[in-house]
Amino acid sequence: MDSPRIRVLPQHLVNQIAAGEVVENAASVVKELVENAIDAGAARVTVEAERGGLDLVRVTDDGCGMTPDEAILAIERHATSKIASAEDLAAIRTLGFRGEALPSIASVATFEMATRTRDADAGTRVSAAGGTVRSEPAACPPGTSISVRDLFRDVPARLKFQKGERTQSAAIRDVLDRIALANPRVHMSLISNGRRAVEHLPCERLADRVAVVFGREASGETADVAGGRDGVRVTGVLGEPSRAKPDPSRVVLLVNGRPVFDLAIRRAVASAYGVLLPQGSWPVAVVRVDLDPADVDVNVHPRKSEVRFRSPREVAGIVFGVIAEAVASAPWSASTTVASPAPAGGASAEGRMGGASAGGPIDPAWTGAREAIALPWPAPVEAPPPPLRDHDLFATPVASRGRMRFADLRYVGQVANTVLVCEGDGVVVFVDQHAAHERVNYERLWRGLSGGGIASEPLMFPEVVRLPPDEAGRVEDAVPSLARAGFEVEPWSGDSVAVRAVPAVLRGRSAAAVVRECLAAASDGSEASGDSRIRKVVATVACHASVRAGDPLDEREARALLASMDGIDLAGYCPHGRQSVVVHPLPAVLRWFGR
């Protein structure tokens, strides 16, 4: 057998191999072309797509255009107007390398470009297909228009792994939305299959662009972000925490104007909301970080979707601090005062007085009542000790008799139609009725899923649910997980889906809200595994099937809930990790009152 021979690959094949790093799907083509248009100084960019971009992607801009010689060079590998020396690589201030993306795109599609500078009498048309490049004069307006047809037609191995049209169209819209958020003054349009799907008019304020991209209903009342230090400037817009969802895709990070993904900063944004944001939820947040280009490497990913900071911990810390300040002064925080972090070696003033713990909300009505009382307000004889959580209690002498049985507790009453108060042998037990019921429902649903399937109930009439365009595009990926959870969902028309069956535990409830949340959980684009995603879907179903905070319960209903908690693993926590049971030793409670 002859040994393999080393050979130099033909340039067209080299370009196709390189395209695998840059051109993943039609959306990545749109990203490269639109970023080039922004770099060219365009004030208006129009994207056209047919069949999810696989048949056609056309991006037209009114930027500076190119001369005939530049147009030919633009589709040569390693030709670019963006860098001239090695030093330029360490301080990149533009979004893309036109001379890098275009040859990669042209190697896996039929490529045509018409371009003209503003002072030229005529333009240039450059076409490329199958490794052959042609150029000729052409009549065209100033700017550049690039058409990419039959993407991956000559690379069938790549074509067969492309997702459906709806998913591809949603990905294109998502790319355009993110670039639009980075460039609110640029007019951006998307025409999909001949229909205008997106029209982002230019605006001066980022908040106005956020309202258009995500919708005012999704973001709620917004708060502006502005601050920074040590050469790092942080600006942006934060959405109302009450509108948060389990899907992190609405947290958009822009670094020097480039939409990127950075897990540490995304977590810093969510953490800065503190107790206002439910665990596992993500708000609408568009955060822009501007810093010296020499302090950030944008070349760590072929598609430049990730960056590496010279000082990542410091940058994340600055982002956290600036956003925490914005949250504290946000309009939706006006009725809630967030306690300052406790000084080293001691509790905050609120903690010493037995109010909210550091970092927690303080009810202004409580403060006002305290000031209105004429009697002196002495500090407690002993500050309340931290409560024992359910899992701690099982290992303490208080529970030396064995694992707590919730059915054996003496039910005392319900506070604020939300918290059940019970008394056990030497303990006072507080139960968050929604979180506890959610845990019970989750365990039952998960056991059903593991044991053959979750019971489903067909609807007499299908319920049509209209979705935001980005969520509608994820239906294809989410359907298998939804089916395992007891849903029967299928695409309907436009951005709508038809729900034909729901899990039996949701009997009598509207499907719209739960389907939207389950779609977000099942199509989470993060690093979550398939098992993690189905757990999120089941947790969402359990949440919607449970009694809510604010629902009055009579004693019979309260006792039934307590009894159902027996035998449930981690009954003290809801599926989202929130505490549902808090236990105080009775002697410690009595000591609060000097007894």
The CATH classification of domain 206-333, taken from the options 3.20.10.10, 3.30.70.1450, 3.20.20.20, 3.30.230.10 = 3.30.230.10
> Quick one: which H or E segment has residue 441?
helix 433-450
Distance of CA 459 to the CA centre of its chain: 31
Q: Supply the DSSP string of 97-144, one letter for each residue.
A: -HHHHHHHHHTTSEEEEEEE-TT-SSEEEEEEETTEEEEEEE---SEE
Rg of the chain taking only CA atoms, in angstroms: 29
Contact between residue 457 and residue 503 where contact means Cβ atoms under 8 Å apart: yes
What are 17-21's contacts with CB under 8 Å, separation 24+?
Answer: 18/77, 18/103, 18/104, 18/107, 19/104, 19/105, 19/107, 19/108, 20/158, 21/104, 21/302, 21/303
Widest distance between CA atoms in the chain: 101
Q: Beta-carbon neighbour count of residue 443 at 10 Å?
A: 20
Instruction: Say which residues have a Cβ less than 8 Å from residue 463's Cβ, sequence separation at least 6.
Output: 498, 499, 510, 511, 512
Superfamily covering domain 383-595: MutL, C-terminal domain, dimerisation subdomain (3.30.1540.20)
Cα–Cα distances (Å) from 418 to 46, 125, 199, 283, 421, in that order, read 52, 69, 44, 24, 10
Instruction: Say which residues have a Cβ less than 8 Å from residue 390's Cβ, sequence separation at least 6.
Output: 404, 571, 572, 573, 580, 581, 582, 583
Cα–Cα distances (Å) from 133 to 145, 205, 307, in that order, read 17, 43, 34
What are 393-401's contacts with CB under 8 Å, separation 24+?
Answer: 393/427, 393/583, 398/426, 398/427, 398/583, 398/585, 401/425
Structure tokens at 252: 């958009």
How many Cα atoms sit within 13 Å of 360 on the Cβ side?
12
The Cα–Cα gap between 522 and 478 comes to: 5
475-484 vs 530-544: helix crossing angle, rounded to 10: 70
pLDDT given at position 519: 83
pLDDT in tens for each of the 595 residues of the chain?
Answer: 455 566 665 665 555 555 545 688 999 999 999 999 999 999 999 999 999 999 999 999 999 999 999 998 888 865 555 544 445 444 455 555 444 678 888 888 999 999 999 999 999 999 988 778 899 999 999 999 999 999 988 888 788 888 888 889 989 999 999 999 999 999 999 999 999 999 999 999 999 999 999 988 888 889 999 999 999 999 999 999 888 887 888 999 999 999 998 888 999 999 999 878 877 789 999 999 999 998 988 766 555 677 889 899 999 999 999 999 999 888 887 544 333 333 333 333 333 223 333 233 323 332 332 232 233 333 333 444 555 444 444 333 333 334 678 999 999 999 999 999 999 999 999 999 999 999 999 999 999 988 878 999 999 888 998 887 767 777 877 888 899 999 999 888 777 889 999 999 998 888 888 888 888 777 665 444 567 788 889 999 999 999 999 999 999 999 999 999 998 876 677 887 778 898 888 988 898 888 8
* Parallel/antiparallel/unpaired status of strands 427-432 and 456-466: unpaired
The Cα–Cα gap between 246 and 253 comes to: 18
Q: What secondary structure letter does DSSP report for 203?
A: -
pLDDT given at position 530: 62
The Cα–Cα gap between 496 and 550 comes to: 32
Instruction: Say which residues have a Cβ less than 8 Å from residue 354's Cβ, sequence separation at least 6.
Output: 380, 383, 384, 592
DSSP 3-state assignment of 464?
A: strand
Contact between residue 404 and residue 394 where contact means Cβ atoms under 8 Å apart: yes
Burial 476-504 (b: 16+ CB within 10 A, else e): bbbbebbbbbbbbbeebeebebebbbbbe
Q: Where are the domains of the chain?
A: 11-200, 206-333, 383-595
Is domain 11-200 classified as CATH 3.40.50.300? no
pLDDT given at position 337: 38
pLDDT given at position 326: 94
Q: Return left, alpha or beta for 227; rule: phi > 0 is left, psi -120 to 50 is alpha, else beta.
A: left
Burial of 336 (0-12, 13-18, 19+ CB in 10 A): middle
